[in-house]
Amino acid sequence: QIPLSQCKFTDTKNANSLIFPLFRKRPQSLHGPSPVTTFGPKACMLQNPHTVMHIQDPASQRLTWNKPPKSVLVIKKIQDASLLQPFKELCMFLTEVKDMIVYVEKKVLEDPAISDDENFRAITKKFCTFRDDLDDISNRVDFIICLGGDGTLLYASSLFQESVPPVMAFHLGSLGFLTPFKFDTYQSQVTQIIEGNAAIVLRSRLKVRVLKENWEKKARVDEKGIILTNGDNESSRKAVQYQVLNEVVVDRGPSSYLSNVDLFLDGHLITTVQGDGVIVSTPTGSTAYAVAAGASMIHPNVPAIMITPICPHSLSFRPIVVPAGVELKIMLSCDARNTAWVSFDGRKRQEICHGDSITITTSCFPVPSICFRDPVNDWFESLAQCLHWNVRKKQNYLSSEDEEF
């Protein structure tokens, strides 16, 4: 965060009122939290001494290592036969040539195409295995290699709730917007990463806190253990936290009624969403569900949060972009006819009832995604190749003869 003494205000006593006169005094900067610059046990971002603000020039963001990396997590799309050969080749290269400790999810090795391969069995014995939601590998992995589509990068993000190791993603899936590397030259590319010769883009994540109001009936019991009455309703609150790379989606679920949710910004009600739902996305998520719902596309280095309605029952409800430092809260409206449902990067889908709340802020733990060239060129390359951005037939050249008519 930027100290107030470094901000250029004409009146520092009233600096907060100059930023947002209608809101209460802000406890944090509108730029959002300064992202951490250490990723996993050994990786960090090379500091630029000429940087003035905490947001670096995208072209200057480079990967470096405090110590040589020794361990790597390989994430492979499950039950995809086309990835078996690339997975085996990569793992053999990492273990035999680079002498790396390879971490692999246990269910990947349970695939019969891998477990029944006698030639590959000697390699798998050297692997370190883990199970999702049971084993903590946050301080064991130096960097991550993803084989598959964009979903593998989202899954890698979900495994790390705090600092995320650098992620190298190979395009072996369908879309590949977030996977810039081609597998053809994987050996030289992986070698460059191990040597610390790579650009990175810090993909901001959302810190989401779901607070649920649980109502339970407490029965009254006498000294002999006999139930006397059914008792009264008593509430207890349960909070769960998530780190989200793409988006938080609140929708109407299976109900035929419109969703009716209140949207708060820094404690103030800014609007009520009446429609199929609302998407709160990161700049990375702006090219996913949000763009399909009519939102703009935002470069990952822009510190912002995007709010996009899903089929709003209003002609004037347009997507908006708010500063990364704000706190959003979503709750069911008091007069909502039905409950709502929420999901986080397409996972952990759950019902939201009256009294529940979803609080969303920018996380200080981004995903350091390794670039093929640099953050700017990679992004525009993905726009052109994956989304066919601004592709149309060119207008014919107007000759001098045509001008006469």
pLDDT tens digits along 118-150 = 889 889 999 999 998 788 898 999 999 999 999
Indicate if the pLDDT at residue 15 is higher than 70: no
Burial grade of 229 (CB within 10 A; 0-12, 13-18, 19 or more) = exposed
Indicate if the pLDDT at residue 245 is higher than 70: yes
pLDDT tens digits along 193-226 = 999 889 999 999 999 999 998 755 444 555 555 5
Burial grade of 134 (CB within 10 A; 0-12, 13-18, 19 or more) = exposed
User: Which of 134, 195, 143, 133 lies closest to 166 in space, CA to CA?
Assistant: 143
d(CA 33, CA 1): 6
DSSP labels for 346-398?
Answer: TEEEEEE-TT-EEEEEE-S--EEEEPSS-HHHHHHHHHHHHS-TT--PPPPP-
Phi first, then psi, for residue 134 (nearest 5°) are -120, -40
Indicate if the pLDDT at residue 24 is higher than 50: no
pLDDT tens digits along 367-379 = 999 999 999 999 9
C-alpha separations of 19 from 28, 270, 329 in Å: 12, 17, 21
Active-site option among 116, 117, 136, 150 = 150
pLDDT tens digits along 157-180 = 999 999 999 999 999 988 889 999
pLDDT tens digits along 323-376 = 999 999 999 999 999 999 999 999 999 999 999 999 999 999 999 999 999 999
Question: Given pLDDT bands bounded at 50, 70 and 90, which one contains residue 402?
Answer: low
Active site residue 117: no
Instruction: Kindly report the pTM of this predicted structure.
Output: 0.82
Q: What is the mean pLDDT of the chain?
A: 85
Indicate if the pLDDT at residue 104 is higher than 60: yes
Residues 6 or more apart whose CB falls under 8 angstroms from that of 241 comprise 161, 207, 208, 209, 210
Q: pLDDT value at position 28?
A: 55
User: How confident is the model over 185-190, as a mean pLDDT?
Assistant: 95
Indicate if the pLDDT at residue 72 is higher than 80: yes
pLDDT tens digits along 29-47 = 566 777 888 888 889 878 7
User: How confident is the model over 10-24, as a mean pLDDT?
Assistant: 39
